[in-house]
Amino acid sequence: MYFRILWAPILWAVFIIILVGVPGTYFPNVKTFWEWLSPDKLVHVFIFGVQSFLILYALDKQYKSLRQRLVYNITIITATSLFALVTEVLQKYLFIGRDGNIFDFIADVIGVFVGFVAYYLFNYKKKNAGN
C-alpha cells in the first residue's frame, strides 16, 4: 500500500544515491563557506528540495489534525535531513572520487526547507484556485 503512494520519493531517493555515488573528480571542491553558492551547491538544494516536495505530496492526505500534521512535518524534515547526512557520509567514506563535506550538507538541508516551502506554496495556490 505505501509503495503505491511513495513510489516517486523512493525512486527520487534511489536517483540521489546513484547521483552522489558517481565518481566526481571533476566536481568543484569547496573549501570555504563563501564558495558554497557554487553550481554544485545549487544542485544539492534542488535534489533535496525535490525529495522533500515529493514526500510531502505523497503523504499529504494521510494526516488531518493539526497535531498530526505538525508531527508529520517535523518527521519529514528530520528524515530527509538525515538522508542528506547519510549521502554526505557515503561520499566521504564509501564512494570513490567523492568528498562529502559540511557545506554540501548545509545546502542539502536548505533544499529540504526550500522543497517544504515550495510544496506549501503550491498547495496553498491549489486550494485557493477553486475559491
Q: Which of 28-32, 35-39, 106-110, 121-125 has the highest mean pLDDT?
A: 106-110
* pLDDT on residue 47: 96
Domain ranges of the chain: 39-124
**What would the mean pLDDT of 76-81 be, rounded to a whole number?**
95
pTM over 0.85: no
Write the pLDDT tens digit of every residue in 19-38.
888 876 555 555 665 565 67
Q: Which residues make Cβ contacts (< 8 Å) with residue 10, sequence separation at least 6? A: 3
The CA-CA-CA angle for residues 40, 10, 57, to 5°, reads: 90
